Chain A
Amino acid sequence: MKTGFSVFLAAFVALGASWFGLVYGPLKQLGVATETKVLQSDAKWPLQRTGDATLGLQVYRSAGCAACHTEQVRQTGAANVLTITEIGSHQPTDLKGFINSLAGSVTELMNSSNAVAANLAGWNGELPKVLYSGADDTVVSMLGDKLKAVGVKTEARVVATGADIARGWGTRQSVAADYLYDAPVQLGNLRAGPDLATIGVRAPDVNWQLQHLYAPRSLVKNSTMPAFRFLFAVQKIGAQPAPDALVLPKEFAPADGYEVVPTAEAKQLAAYLLTLKNNAPLYEAPFTPITAAK
């Protein structure tokens, strides 16, 4: 019986510890989170959904979209990128030589001289030209300053890196703050379909979204997404075609005299998808938006 009690106690302590660590801890740390600020702006993040989009999140939940789609962009790192935007009166070949000699002689640049030379090889003056992309921010500032002194304009940016970013699924990784207003939070753990964290940026047309829901393969060949025809009604065309009837290619259109009309749920789901745009730089996930220049 002595072992019995100590085993019970040990199990109790073990479970208690894990509960405190993975339930109570996050509740205390994240459960009290409020809106954050977008970096270098007064805008708040995340945006509160309204109307149809709020209901659309529930349609997304109800249909189990998260079984195949994640809403989460991964990032492997960040890079400081220096891009030449204007070369003024310089000739590309001269400038190339100047930059290469600069990189070879200045101590702070020496480590990166090979990378810079490789970037410049075969450059014929087309702009913008990425001069450096890497972890070292002194290279970016030093090289930028030296080039500015000779009248070459450059742009320094911080960009996120990683396969998800390179695929165009987002400009930065997803962070806890992005999901503040989601209830339930549906991160998903399978990418049978593409990530949807920024689908509202990638496909901002509501008609595209609706048609894609009704007949995915009419827009994306070889898509494995099931058609969500149960979110639409096929009805006889009345005196006038319904204003919100889908315009479908012949192959996917219903019989003559019929039209496909999205139900309220389909419209809500599409509205929700359009609100998915994780594209604001935050303190914990910084990047330089395209518009900012040095």
Chain B
Amino acid sequence: MNPTENKTMQCGCDAPVAGIGGEGAAATIDASCRVPLLALFGGAALWLVLGLALGLAAVMTFHKPDMFADCAFLTFGRAQAAANDLLLYGFAIPAALGVMLWILARLSQAPLALPIVPVVAANLWHLGVFIGTATILGGGSTGHPWLEYPRAAAVLLFAAFMLIAVCAVATMGSRTNGELYPSHWFFFAAILWFVWSYGSANIFLQSHQQPRGVVQAVIDWWLTNNLLFVWLALAGIGIAFYFLPKIAGKPLASRGYALFGLLTLVFFGSWVGIPQSAPVPAWLPTVSAYAGLLSLVSIVAIAIVTKKTVCGACVKCSGGPFCFIKFGMLSFVVSSLLYVSEFCPRYSRVLEFTWFNFGVTQWQLLGFAGMILCGAIYEILPRVMGKELPFTKLAKLNFFLFAGGTLLFVIPLLIGGVEQGMKLRDANIPFADASAVAMKFLRISTTGQLLVLLGALCLLLNILVMTLQWKLGLVKTVVGVVKDSLAEGSAYQPLPCDKEAKP
């Protein structure tokens, strides 16, 4: 039994996985996830660091406008787009998929089905992200925000997702116990959502016969909302609803509220996303405004479940996974409220076209998805690898850097955005003054961005060292076996390698 396992069980309460088949079964399940998860998490952590570094390089343009004047690939428009996509496609989605696979295997009380499939998928996915990023930096972006990856990269991402979906469904199908846990619902929806929305948006926007005019923008807004708001929420909350009860040592507060939160999220949340002053027929923004209002219900329901589950838990978090996930859920509630407020006609008049939107998006990506995923990774990795994290202190430091950094990154942007919006609304104030106000806040926010980057480095270091140690161990075992067999002088002996250890 590894130490983390020990800690979570100390309350004597049963985890959501009722009656798990003993230590041996859990260890087999964890071992079956080892290679796929390392492939997904390792790449994700690398992309996270690169994305944050690229984002930092991009905003440097605002501190020193001529910094990259001769360097086409780091010009703001390219670097920023590549950084955003790295955070979403490079980090958030593959990391969430990895965590999902592990949770599904644990909930099924069965080893991961088809463990080779997600390994292939992870490599395809990372290849897609690499091609996409290189293309954007080289100037080949499609020009549709959050869908900048060219056709080749989009096809790779889609194929990889389909493979992982197959593995997830197969794992879900192999469960020994018929009952479904709330996380199952969220993951179901998340898998369906990505395949449908990413697939159809790409079919329309990347085909040779693109739809004419603003329909392109409408489809893009629809996709952006469905990925950044709905998909991240489905994946993130599904993960949180598994870990929170498990770590807190008590059952999820209310399945009813959780189901209600899920249904209202998918029914109303998916209609949000059309900006209020968009140059489209008025019914579109109006529908989005009402949908935004109605999705408040969902945010409240999820907040209630979380609060009831977390309150009174007999676990101290002190920078551990529990802290990460609690902070992530708090971020979900706050960032979603801010996000929805952008679609209220009254506020959108001020908030539109300012840094506010950028701030909210970063909060969703880093404060909510990033936090929950980092927490989940720190919780899962030691189990999957069967040993402690190499740098537990860095993992704790990661929490404080992420929490402080995200707030320092995002809150100035939000305040600056509001101020900028107020000034933009008043035609007597010159445009340059409105920009200057935002710049003041942007300078503070860059400090936060740097802290988040340092936090991400902690994550990368932990995963990287863990992977290296494991690979070194594999080599040692193989060498040892070969040596032994040579010493004995036996003609041939099959290597006792474990199946999962071979990527």
Contacts and interface: CB of A to CB of B under 8 A. Distances in A.
B320 to A, nearest CB: 31
A260 to B, nearest CB: 12
B22 interface: no
Contacts of B278: 72, 187
B212 A33 contact: yes
A103 B438 CA distance: 46
B284 interface: yes
A7 B279 contact: no
Contacts of B72: 63, 230
Nearest to A220: B432
B61 A226 contact: yes
A191 interface: yes
A115 interface: no
Interface stretch (B105-113, B352-360, B388-396): B352-360
A194 B353 CA distance: 10
Interface stretch (A12-20, A84-92, A131-139, A148-156): A12-20
B218 A26 contact: yes
B270 interface: yes
Interface stretch (B6-14, B76-84, B239-247, B474-482): B76-84
Interface in A75-104: 76
Interface stretch (A106-114, A174-182, A204-212, A267-275): A174-182
Contact of A63 (B69, B139, B349, B435): B139
Given A33-B213, A230-B71, A178 B144 contact: no
With a 10 A CB-CB cut-off, give which of A27, A74, A186, A222 has the most chain B CB atoms.
A74
Contacts of B145: 66, 189
Interface in A218-261: 220, 222-230
Nearest to B64: A226
Contact of B281 (A27, A29, A31): A29
Given A179-B279, A190-B355, A191-B424, A224 B65 contact: yes
Instruction: Find the residue from A4, A62, A220 having the highest chain B CB count within 10 A.
Output: A62
A188 B352 CA distance: 11
Interface centre among B81, B270, B354 (most CB of A within 10 A): B270
B69 A228 contact: yes
A226 B427 contact: no
Query: Secondary structure at chain B's binding surface: helix, strand, loop or mixed?
Result: helix
Interface in B55-85: 61-62, 65-72, 75-78, 80-81
B35 to A, nearest CB: 29
A33 B218 CA distance: 14
B76 A4 contact: no
A110 B329 CA distance: 58
A248 B427 CA distance: 32
B444 interface: no
Select the residue from A12, A26, A189 with max chain B CB neighbours within 10 A. Answer: A26
A7 B219 CA distance: 26
Contacts of A224: 62, 65, 435, 439
Contacts of B193: 11, 15
Interface string B248-289: 000000000001001100110011011101111100100100
Given A22-B274, A179-B279, A62 B141 contact: yes
A4 B192 CA distance: 14
B189 interface: yes
A228 B180 contact: no
Interface in A141-191: 163, 166-167, 173-191
Given A4-B185, A226-B75, A230-B70, A74 B277 contact: yes
A149 to B, nearest CB: 36
Contacts of A192: 62, 355, 435, 438
A217 B64 CA distance: 12
Contact of B77 (A22, A63, A174, A216): A63
Contacts of A10: 263, 266-267
Contacts of A220: 432
Nearest to B433: A222
Contacts of A175: 279
A178 B143 CA distance: 18
Given A11-B266, A180-B213, 20 more contacts: A1-B179, A3-B180, A3-B185, A11-B188, A11-B262, A18-B226, A26-B218, A30-B212, A63-B75, A64-B141, A66-B145, A67-B81, A183-B210, A184-B216, A185-B214, A185-B217, A190-B355, A192-B438, A224-B65, A229-B69
12 contacts: A1-B180, A7-B263, A15-B189, A23-B218, A27-B211, A30-B280, A31-B215, A61-B142, A62-B141, A185-B217, A187-B217, A226-B75
Question: Which 4 A-B pairs give the minimum distances between C-beta atoms?
Answer: A64-B77, A166-B427, A18-B270, A184-B143
